[in-house]
Amino acid sequence: MTTRTPLMAGNWKMNLDWKQGLALVEELGEQLKDVDTSKVDTVVLPPFVDLRTVQTAVDAGKLPIAYGGQDLSAHESGAYTGEISGQMLTALGCTFVAIGHSERRQYHGETEELTNAKVKAAFAAGLTPILCVGEPLEERQAGKQVEYSLAQVEGGLEGLTAEHVAVSVIAYEPVWAIGTGEVATPDDAQEVCAAIREWVRAKHGDTAADAVRVLYGGSVKSSNVAELMEKPDVDGALVGGASLKAEEFAKIAGYQG
Ligand code: 13P
């Protein structure tokens, strides 16, 4: 059981246009009325084009939901066609941004250097980065999940201060568990999440290690979240498919009962 405030983040990926996004966020607000939201941070990461609508709905309904982007540009502004800057996200009330998701690394060729530059861009804009790391199946089968994930943590957090690391979120998402229905066992999740925290401890000290929130992601559902959350180094979940249903995601946020 974590000693930090649990964080449940829903990554909508490339799903739901603004009207569907509006319906989901309003329904989620409704469902969260049954949840003690003072005990958990609930975050949604909609597609960029839904953010303005989500902002309006959250503000109008005073919903206990934070939101953010699924990515951002490493650049501040300028001639970068198709890109979205950190400042544009903060101007919409975003407080979080996912960075280095395995789908960005895999399908968009995002490197460690780029991921690191994006983490720095997030801080420069006042956003909290959710740095995503995690091994593909091959590395897991070779028993290299810790080594592989820590290399991504090290690359992504390169050059950051202990103060920045302390307020960062790191999501361990083993690639083989994403969208496959194959959830890592709580012990698998704990192994890598603990190793990430120990890496932070060795590099940035106790304060950062005890504060940084480490999430697990990969086929998380309301039926398996509680056992994952029993582990001391799992501080929350990054949820894909199950975050697209308000009732299901609210149950995940309300896993404490
Ligand atoms: P699923 O929950 O659909 O497996 O997706 C996990 C994920 O990639 C969240 O970022």
Contact 234, 193 (CB under 8 A): yes
Q: Which of 7, 8, 11, 71 to mutate to test the pocket of ligand 1 (most atoms within 8 A of CB)?
A: 11
Q: How far is the CA of 239 from the centre of ligand 1 (A)?
A: 5
In 122-246, where do the E strands start and end? Answer: 128-133, 169-172, 213-217, 236-239
Instruction: Give the whole-number percent of the chain exceeding pLDDT 70.
Output: 100
Q: Which of 220, 224, 225, 252 to mutate to test the pocket of ligand 1 (most atoms within 8 A of CB)?
A: 220
> In this predicted structure, what is the pLDDT of residue 186?
97
Evaluate if pTM is beyond 0.75: yes
Give me the numbers of helices (H) and strands (E) for the chain, helices first please: 12, 8
Tell me the C-alpha distance between 98 and 129, whole Å: 6
Instruction: Report pLDDT digits (tens) over 61-74.
Output: 999 999 999 999 99
Residue keyed to tokens 């999430």: 215
pLDDT-derived band at 257, boundaries 50, 70, 90: low
Instruction: Report pLDDT digits (tens) over 210-222.
Output: 999 999 999 999 9
